[in-house]
Amino acid sequence: MTVTLPREDIVRLCERIEGAQTRAYSIPKLTDEFPDMTIADGYAVQSELRRRFIAQGHRLVGWKAGLTSKAKMEQMGVSVPSIGFLTDRMARPENSVISTSDLVHPRVECEVAFVTSQELSGPDVTAADVIAATDYVLPAIEVIDSRFTGFKFDLESVIADNGSSARFVGGGRARRPADLDLRTLGVVLELNGEMVAMGASAAVLGNPAEAVAMLVHTLHELGEKLPAGSFVMSGGITEAIAVRAGDQVIARYQDLGSVSIRFAE
Ligand code: 0L1
Ligand code: MG
């Protein structure tokens, strides 16, 4: 990956993203000002954001794969998956109330999360390696929140915005991956008691473990590894659904139980 922007611009763009994320306002996509920005530039901005958050005391707890299903790629008009980092400040307990006043325009996604027991690294990691290195999988809801005006962006900008990461909630029933067929897990997403989306886990690159392998490959390109004990979100099974204050969301998974959250101002 080739970073083309000078460090000064990477830092300036990171400050723009950090302001929008921490004070919940929308900004134009970064490529409006830097049309030649590359995916590597996007990851350089994301890495600078991670460095700053860690320096401020946030703890890195894992990573997320994004844009890993056809539904998501079509919804957002991109053709390549992305990765982003997860910190303790983004985690929320199951059944909790998530505040919308510190988010711009939140959406929810149903995902399968992996908790690893061994380090994963390198360009050749396979889905089988991921499964062997996974302690357990559990159902999760990701709350994404693009900071770009109208939720409109391109891959370079959204990678800089840490893949729209905002909040994540794990819950339900944790299972050993060897006891499940990770390709055929069904999920139904309910918003205020009505089904709004459904799908099967194969929507995520054929098998969510493939998305985790892709994430490890991207980390390798960035000079990083996935440490043991990481919490990894493998990507939305369905398209993302917009939520607002007052909404109740339940994701019901086959074999993994359910996860619910509420939204309030
Ligand atoms: O988790 C995701 O798939 C989100 C990736 C970024 C694109 C978006 O905000 O929808
Ligand atoms: Mg997601």
Domain layout of the chain by residue ranges: 7-264
pTM of the model: 0.96
pLDDT (0 to 100) of residue 72: 78
Asked if residue 146 has its Cβ within 6 Å of ligand 1, the reply is yes
Please tell me whether residue 135 adopts helix, strand or coil conformation.
strand
Among 67, 73, 148, 212, which residue has the most ligand 1 atoms within 8 Å of its CB, making it the best to mutate?
67
Eight-class DSSP state of 96: P
User: Residue type at 220?
Assistant: H
Please compute the mean of the pLDDT values over residues 48-68 and round it to a whole number. Answer: 97
CA–chain centroid gap for 259, Å, is 17
Asked if residue 29 has its Cβ within 6 Å of ligand 1, the reply is no
- Indicate the CATH number of 7-264 among 2.170.130.10, 3.90.850.10, 2.60.40.10, 3.30.70.270: 3.90.850.10
- Least confident piece of the model among 1-10, 70-79, 220-229: 70-79
Contacts of 197 (CB under 8 A, 6+ apart): 110, 188, 189, 238, 239, 241
**Among protein residues, the one whose CA lies closest to atom 4 of ligand 1:** 66
Please compute the mean of the pLDDT values over residues 26-35 and round it to a whole number. Answer: 96
d(CA 231, CA 226) in angstroms, rounded, equals 10
Helix (H) or strand (E) holding 112: strand 107-116
φ, ψ for residue 139 (rounded to 5)?
A: -75, 150
